[in-house]
Structure 1
Amino acid sequence: MKFNADSKGRFVAGDRAFPCAIGKGGMVAAQDKREGDGASPLGAWPLRRVLYRPDRGPAPRTALPVSPIAPDDGWCDDPAHPDYNRPVKRPFDASHEALWREDGLYDLVVVLGHNDDPPAAPLGSAIFLHLAKPDYAPTEGCIALARPDLEAVLALAAPGDVLIIEA
């Protein structure tokens, strides 16, 4: 199945459409994506796996691989580090994002196959499909949905599915 997110803040899954948040830097061609630019990369990105925070809810219903997030989980965003755009354990000696967040945005996360096979610095890291803020404020480059909408998408998702980010 193909899922689509566009620059108008609309996410389409089959015959359903949901509001979504996109990167604060707008959208950018994948080859122009740079670490820290806040842009969502245009293209088709495989849905790799789902991470969830087990203290804030059960594992979602999905055919995708699912793993719990632990308090020491992070994601390297340092282009100079060999673990760039890879999961890491905290504490970590290079720049990284904590996956165990207080704001709830990463309580449910789909890891997208952007710049991961293999990662190339500095073409962007940690491009996820995750939970949106209540006002759908822009992300740091990810796509974000309300929890019920992301859960509905995950119920439809299967290995091999892609998220198409388009202008």
Structure 2
Amino acid sequence: MVLNPGGLLFHGRRFPCTIGRGGVSDAKREGDGATPAGIHRIVGMLYRPDRMARPTDWAVPIRLGDLWCDDPAHEDYNLMVRAPFSASHERLRRADPLYDLVILTDWNWPYAERGRGSAIFMHRWRRPGAPTEGCVALRADHLAWIATRIGYDTRLIVRPQP
């Protein structure tokens, strides 16, 4: 998968997508809203079993209480955690459909450098052109199509924008 100004290219198809409000960055930091440049491995997939069928045999259901730690000072920074959790976090089981299907990248994972950024996912977009907090977002049907075709060697390549 290659992300460039024309969208996301995967298996010979181009998909419109949105990126972080901070653009693409070679120096990603927590809270800057940027999508990190680089070659990112796909390391997991999460889905809402109450809203959709399991997309692949390796997708993991999002349960009530699943969170993602985004607190650079916490030992579980950039890891999935469970409620109750007192440090800063993002709720994975959201009321809106943005995280009904989440593809996890290896940005700053599994050994996170504090403050370098967390929770860089591929997920559903709010609407065309609406920026993310640093993730790559796509239309729901495009995300689902991509999810079923991800292989062990699939990479998300994010190039700096001119």
TM bin (shorter chain) = over 0.9
Aligned residues: 160
After the TM superposition, which residues 142-161 of structure 1 pair with which residues of structure 2 at under 5 Å, given as runs?
142-161=135-154
Please give the alpha-carbon distance, in whole angstroms, between the structure 1 residues aligned to 2:83 and 2:121: 19
1:106 to 85, 99, 106: 99
Amino acid of the structure 1 residue aligned with 2:38: G
Please give the alpha-carbon distance, in whole angstroms, between the structure 2 residues aligned to 1:90 and 1:162: 31
Residue of structure 2 equivalent to 1:94:
87
Matching of residue 40 in structure 1 with residue 61 in structure 2: no
Q: Is the 8 A contact 1:70 1:100 kept in 2?
A: yes
After superposition, the CA RMSD in angstroms is 1.2
Please give the alpha-carbon distance, in whole angstroms, between the structure 2 residues aligned to 1:37 and 1:71: 28
CA apart distance, 1:19 = 0.3
1:54 to 49, 55, 65: 49
Please give the alpha-carbon distance, in whole angstroms, between the structure 2 residues aligned to 1:134 and 1:25: 17
Q: Is the 8 A contact 2:17 2:128 kept in 1?
A: no
SS at match of 2:143: helix
Q: How does the TM-score come out when normalised to structure 1?
A: 0.92
After the TM superposition, which residues 1-167 of structure 1 pair with which residues of structure 2 at under 5 Å, given as runs?
3-6=1-4, 8=5, 10-29=7-26, 32-60=27-55, 62=56, 65-167=58-160
Percent of residue pairs bearing the same amino acid type: 45
Amino acid of the structure 2 residue aligned with 1:22: I
CA apart distance, 1:107 = 0.4
Please give the alpha-carbon distance, in whole angstroms, between the structure 1 residues aligned to 2:125 and 2:79: 22
Give 1 or 2: higher helix fraction: 1
CA apart distance, 1:160 = 2.6
Amino acid of the structure 2 residue aligned with 1:80: A
Please give the alpha-carbon distance, in whole angstroms, between the structure 1 residues aligned to 2:6 and 2:87: 33
Please give the alpha-carbon distance, in whole angstroms, between the structure 1 residues aligned to 2:150 and 2:129: 22
Please give the alpha-carbon distance, in whole angstroms, between the structure 2 residues aligned to 1:165 and 1:152: 20
Q: How does the TM-score come out when normalised to structure 2?
A: 0.95
Q: Is the 8 A contact 1:9 1:21 kept in 2?
A: no
